[in-house]
Amino acid sequence: MTTVTAPDAPPGATAGIRKARGGGFWRYLLVRFLLIFPTIFILVSLVFFLMRLTGDPITASLGDRLSPEQLAERIHAAGYDRPLFVQYLEYLANVFTGNFGSSISDGRPVTEILLTYGSATLELAIYALIVAFIVGIPLGMVAAYFRDRWGDAALRIFAILCYATPVFFAGLVLKLIFAVWLKALPVAGRASTRTELRLQQLDDPTGIYLIDAIRTGSSSAITDVLTHAVLPALALGLLTAGVFLRLVRTNVIGTLSRDYVDAARSRGVREYRLVRRHALKPALVPIITVIGLQIAMLLGGAVLTETTFEWKGLGFQLAEYLAKRDFVAVQGIVALLAVIVALTNFIVDLIAAILDPRVRY
Amino acid sequence: MSTETRTPEKAARVRPRWWNRLPVLQQLRQSVGLQRGMLVVGLVITSVFVLVAIFAPFVAPYGYNQLRGPDGLFGAQQPPGPDHLLGTTVGGYDVLSRVIWGAQTALLVILVAIVLSVFIGIALGLLSGYIGGWFDRVTIVIADAIYAFPSLLLAIVAAIVISGGQSSLWGGILAAAISITVVFIPQYLRVVRAEVVRVKSEAFVESARVIGASNRRIMFRHVLRNSTRTLPLVITLNSSEAILTLAGLGFLGFGIEPSAAAEWGYDLNKSLSDVTSGIWWTSIFPGLAIVLVVLGITLVGESLNDLADPRLRARRKPAKTPAQAVAAEKPVAREEMGDVV
Amino acid sequence: MATHDTAVDIRGLRVSFDTDGGTVEAVRGVDLQVAPGEVLAIVGESGSGKTVTSRSILRLLPETATVKGAVLVGGEDVVRLDAARLRQLRGTQAAMIFQEPSTALNPVYTVGWQIAEGLRAHGKYTKKQARERAIDMLRKVGIPEPERRVDDYPHQFSGGQKQRIVIAMALALDASVLIADEPTTALDVTVQAEILDLLRRLRDEYGTAIVLITHNMGVVADLADRVAVMYLGEVVETAPVRELFAAPKHEYTKKLLAAVPRVELVERAAPESAAAEAVVEATGLEIEYPGRLGKKPFRAVHGVDLRIGLGEVVGLVGESGSGKTTIGRAIAGLAPVTGGSLRVLGTEMRGVKEREFRAKRRELGFVFQDPATSFNPLLTIAECVAEPLIVHGLASSAADGRDRVDELLDAVQLGGAYGDRYPHELSGGQRQRASLARALALDPKLLIADEPTSALDVSVQARVLELFEELQERFGFASLFITHDLAVVDRVAHRVVVLHRGEIAEEGPTDRVLGAPQDPYTRRLLASLPVPDPDEQARRREALAALQREAG
């Protein structure tokens, strides 16, 4: 009864609506795309200013090893004695051209660190996501369907446990059980030394060990790589699976109580199909949006998982640089991750927009 | 019709007693069956945690930084036994005592983090939602940017700023708490803002505007109190997240030095190498402590969440108090923050 | 008794729900029969159990429900069927139409997909066959260009079209019984007439039995063959439609019929003061809502001239999207005026600053449509009613203004004890009366009432309207009474303004506009309004059809 809504479109006006819908979609994408830039800008600036509040990175990293004169010289050489604002502008300009700085301890450019170790993190993240999807989404639907019965309660406790267990603790326990006591799986690393050497002999390795192992064609290499991946993937994957389970459950319960589910039921549609088709797909839009945010959490979790399993990826490196107090490297890696997060979120929103026919901004 | 003609002389009403109107207890009365079971379990675990934290000095057999007893040094990596129920760590501390004292550290961090973030978050959310316009848009873009970022990484950066990486008890607690606050403010902001935007368009706020009430009066008398109903929920959820973040920081070496306080994450970090040699007691117990506390708090939060949402609540009772009547509508904020676990 | 000539046979139906407060009996021993090709209307007010009764025909009840008795559909007892057979029966024997068409369609699937899904749940259809049948059905329910629109999503259709699609879905499986739960309540009156026509055609062409659940006696008179009146979970009276309207037997039915507002064309002269002084004067009023992100702004109101004299009640009538609420909000300073001029109580509202207008707000009251949300749930009724007194400095606190509050509550026939209650402890009608009390707290010169009765049951609505009339006579305030219901406006207004798509279609004294409308839109609007009298309604239906042929 409110007048804010546009009047009901007369039948002839549908062509107009179609057009508007197409326009709305592209406009939405454009706005979302443009939002990437302020997001990156805000995060990069935040990281920069936070890091600089503590003083200059050279003192932090080498302060206890160099004399004050040597320090002052290094600081001057690196330009850290200039006004903060000048440094900030320079930093922004560098970031804009893809230069995230170089580490102090070993002088490697951050982008190079990313290229070297990024593939390992990507591989781990993909494994973990696969585990999370396989475990979280079907179980979430089951829990929603059996809501408030014992099965549901058990699944929810499982989900909370998945979430309540810190990844590194889950990693430790898995390691203790499967690697130390049962000796069924390797303790740490991405592959055995032999396999690693073999993979390095490939010309132009992808860095994603599974792909590289398949390329060598050796089944023992593939098995080796996969057995190394099981525990880290489980530790990180179950954490995310818990989140997915709960998310799917809540949203599917929400859509199951909608009129259109009742309407479909009144047409004799099967219960399984009601959950699978009618409740899940509308629920997917919010689910996917949140999954986008979970990718950020997955990256945070990857840092801890990689440390636990000595999985030599970005997170492992980050922890190393943290231990060395090499804050330029830390700042660079964190800023770079910010860019990645902003980009993934855009892609996720894109998928959500394609799934939802009503999308409008 | 029947309600219309109901006798007016029966209009005298009994106000529910004040303790039934307290946030968590009220939901406890409202809950049934499994939901109640989950809530009760959560409340029990949470209260045990709080009690242990408060009475740590009396409960713990030794101090958190105690290395020697009357019979000399404890010795490193001693298995569980009569002297040390849960064994000793690689550094020679008593595991049980460290676990108990760790509860105190965790509780302090939660309290400081929540007090800081709740106030700033509510204030920003109220302003952002009520004023709207450019202020709102800019705040939201910033909040979203921070929200989308891995909270652990942000906490690391914040910890570096605040403590330079290593710290005393209060330095460490503040560092952890403030870094968690930075991550949480955007969440509170979004939750409160979403509620404010919803409440703002409700007829009773418009009615206050038609009457000619000032913005301040509308904001504080009508909007604020109707926008904070999801806070108990967010607080519980963030408490568990605070514990996990604190543990994560400790695990990466940004925790509190063992001489300053006990911290579970730090102990887990130190036990990393023990695991490979089959020494399990140094990692399992602090780890279980984290899992239990987070489990307890999350159970409370999940139950509050379900009870606050009519779509998720098992069965519905007619509202008994105004707060329940507010809670009977579907909170927007729940959708806003679908992912806070 | 389950012979071939009953489509639905409900016997001794009892439905109860488990709640924390104990078991609540929603339906208490209902017996009803529906013959093939018959339209049975179940009428009653909210809480009467009419919806639960109708839903139990398909056993579409929540898990907390316990059903006893028998519901025979096509000779099978739905109450005792196993899940598999029940599923087969749903859709093929009996189908359902919902109140809110926009929520009964899944937003993420095309309408064609949704129709086809129902077909494929019950038989073998290839994709192509299912699609053809879907197109066929859409054509039958009057969706233009069905070949193209079958691939559209629900949000691309108007409200009336969505309801047609829901009917098409029910129709696709040749169900012999159609359960229509308030099928036109969410629709405008002109669209309602079209949907009712469609349902009538289904009955005539396919011999479908229809169970029509409604609270609108006009709809009953228009479509029903037989009527069952429900009250507190029981059927209190069943009678053929003419008999029921002509000679209602049960006390409740009589009361219900008496409460239905009718267009009676009483001449109601505006007070003399109206000509002398205007409280609201709009000339060429334009109100636009800014479009988002470079889209064209939406023009809700354009070129409206409106005058409300001192002590005069002006009824503002229109369908959804006509701009009537927007005008009311602009007068109250809740929506900005973007063009023309609007003077309210001597203040020009175009570009007005809130600070300048605040003092004038003393002389302005507002009653909102939805009684559920118009009170702060955390304040008592007395505190809510005292708000205007406190804001304008007439009372320092709610306790201080309590005498005046009690006086006001008395005036709206809510005893003083109600003041200590919280809003959720009052019924919708009581809240709407309290809302009147709050609006009148400062003895305003102008009262804006935005659909104050449309969320209420008929008998409650009658009481609120009566109260409104009485208060208006007593306090003599001028009023803008916004409504979509012509019968309501007939009851209260001195003058009527009919809005259509943001422009004035017609205006004049109430009896003139409703008795002898000049504008084609007003005539169509008036003709679409079903009256609670089956014979009269049949005549009006003819007249409407003629009117539409005329319009082409």
CATH for A195: 1.10.3720.10
CATH of C272-381+427-528, one of 3.40.50.300, 3.40.50.2300, 3.40.50.1970, 1.25.40.20: 3.40.50.300
Task: State whether A282 and C104 contact (CB < 8 Å).
Answer: no
| Helix (H) or strand (E) segment spanning residue A72 | helix A68-78
Residue A109 falls inside a structural domain: no
Query: For a pLDDT cut of 70, what percent of chain C falls above it?
Result: 97
Tokens of A100: 């995230």
**A183–chain C Cβ distance below 8 A for any pair:** no
- Name chain C's partners: 3 or more CB pairs within 8 A: A, B
What's the burial of A77, exposed, middle or buried (CB within 10 Å: 0-12/13-18/19+)?
Answer: exposed
pLDDT band for B334, please (50, 70, 90 cuts).
very low
Residue B1's pLDDT is 38
| Helix (H) or strand (E) segment spanning residue A307 | helix A280-309
**A271–chain C Cβ distance below 8 A for any pair:** yes
Tokens of B267: 């102990």
Q: A165 CA to chain B: closest CA distance, Å?
A: 5
Secondary structure percentages of chain B, helix, strand, coil, to 5 = 70, 0, 30
**A153–chain B Cβ distance below 8 A for any pair:** yes
Residue A24's pLDDT is 65
Q: Are strands C495-500 and C313-317 parallel, antiparallel or unpaired?
A: parallel
Residue A342 falls inside a structural domain: no
Number of structural domains chain A divides into: 1
Lowest mean pLDDT among A224-238, B120-134, B230-244: B230-244
Task: State whether C106 and A278 contact (CB < 8 Å).
Answer: yes
Residues counted in chain B? 341
Task: State whether B213 and C387 contact (CB < 8 Å).
Answer: yes
Q: B223 CA to chain C: closest CA distance, Å?
A: 9
Whether pLDDT at B324 is above 60: no
Residue of chain A with shortest Cα separation from B158: A50
Residue C294's pLDDT is 54
Residue of chain A with shortest Cα separation from C501: A7
Residue C114's pLDDT is 92
Which residues from chain A sit within 8 angstroms of residue B295, using beta carbons?
160-161, 164
* Range of the structural domain that residue A192 is part of: 115-323
Which residues from chain C sit within 8 angstroms of residue B325, using beta carbons?
377, 422-424
Q: B322 CA to chain C: closest CA distance, Å?
A: 5
Tens of pLDDT along A264-282? 888 888 888 888 888 888 8
Tens of pLDDT along C240-269? 999 999 999 999 999 888 888 888 777 777
Task: State whether B34 and A153 contact (CB < 8 Å).
Answer: yes
**Beta strand extents in C44-194 (DSSP E only):** 65-73, 76-77, 94-97, 177-181
Could you name the CATH architecture of C1-93+176-259? 3-Layer(aba) Sandwich (3.40)
Residues of chain C with CATH 3.40.50.300: 1-93+176-259, 272-381+427-528
Residue B6's pLDDT is 38
**C417–chain B Cβ distance below 8 A for any pair:** yes
Task: State whether B204 and C361 contact (CB < 8 Å).
Answer: no
Tokens of C257: 């019929």
Q: B194 CA to chain C: closest CA distance, Å?
A: 17
Q: Is the dihedral of CA C118, C120, C125, C129 positive or negative?
A: positive
**A340–chain B Cβ distance below 8 A for any pair:** no
Which residues from chain A sit within 8 angstroms of residue B38, using beta carbons?
153, 156-157
Residue C335's pLDDT is 87
Q: Which residues are CB-contacts of B138 (< 8 A; sequence separation ≥ 6)?
A: none
**Smallest Cβ distance to C361: which of B6, B211, B315?**
B211
Q: Which residues of chain C have pLDDT under 50?
A: 1-3
DSSP reduced 3-state for C62: coil
CA–chain centroid gap for C225, Å, is: 23
Task: State whether C121 and A265 contact (CB < 8 Å).
Answer: no
Q: Which of C421, C269, C446, C433 is nearest to C357 (CA)?
A: C446
Residue C328's pLDDT is 92
Residue A25's pLDDT is 72
DSSP reduced 3-state for C504: strand
Q: Which residue has the higher pLDDT, B325 or B177?
A: B177
Rg over alpha carbons for chain B, rounded to the nearest Å, is 24
Answer whether A2's CB lies under 8 Å from C455's CB.
no
Residue B13's pLDDT is 44
Rounded Cα gap, residues B1 and A297, in angstroms = 54
The predicted complex's ipTM stands at 0.79
Best of C18, C97, C103, C106 to mutate (most A CBs within 10 Å, chain A)? C106
Lowest mean pLDDT among A78-82, B63-67, B318-322: B318-322
A110-145 vs A219-256: helix crossing angle, rounded to 10: 50
Residue A291 falls inside a structural domain: yes
Answer whether A169's CB lies under 8 Å from B290's CB.
yes
Residue A289's pLDDT is 76
Tens of pLDDT along B142-184? 887 887 777 787 777 777 777 665 556 677 777 778 877 887 8
Residue of chain B with shortest Cα separation from C255: B1
Best of A266, A276, A361 to mutate (most C CBs within 10 Å, chain C)? A266
Residue A270 falls inside a structural domain: yes
Residue A18's pLDDT is 35
Q: Which of A242, A166, A240 is nearest to B293 (CA)?
A: A166
* DSSP bridge partners of C71: C10
Task: State whether B144 and A293 contact (CB < 8 Å).
Answer: no
pTM: 0.79
Residue A12's pLDDT is 32
Best of B28, B30, B131, B207 to mutate (most C CBs within 10 Å, chain C)? B207
Rounded Cα gap, residues A354 and A352, in angstroms = 5
Residue A222 falls inside a structural domain: yes
Tokens of A217: 């064609």
Which residues from chain A sit within 8 angstroms of residue B148, using beta carbons?
39, 292-293, 296, 341-342, 345
Tokens of B129: 């939602």
Residue A208 falls inside a structural domain: yes
A150-164 vs A219-256: helix crossing angle, rounded to 10: 120
Residue C35's pLDDT is 92
Residue A359's pLDDT is 59
Q: Which residues of chain A have pLDDT under 70?
A: 1-24, 54-55, 60-64, 358-361
Best of B30, B206, B211, B332 to mutate (most C CBs within 10 Å, chain C)? B211
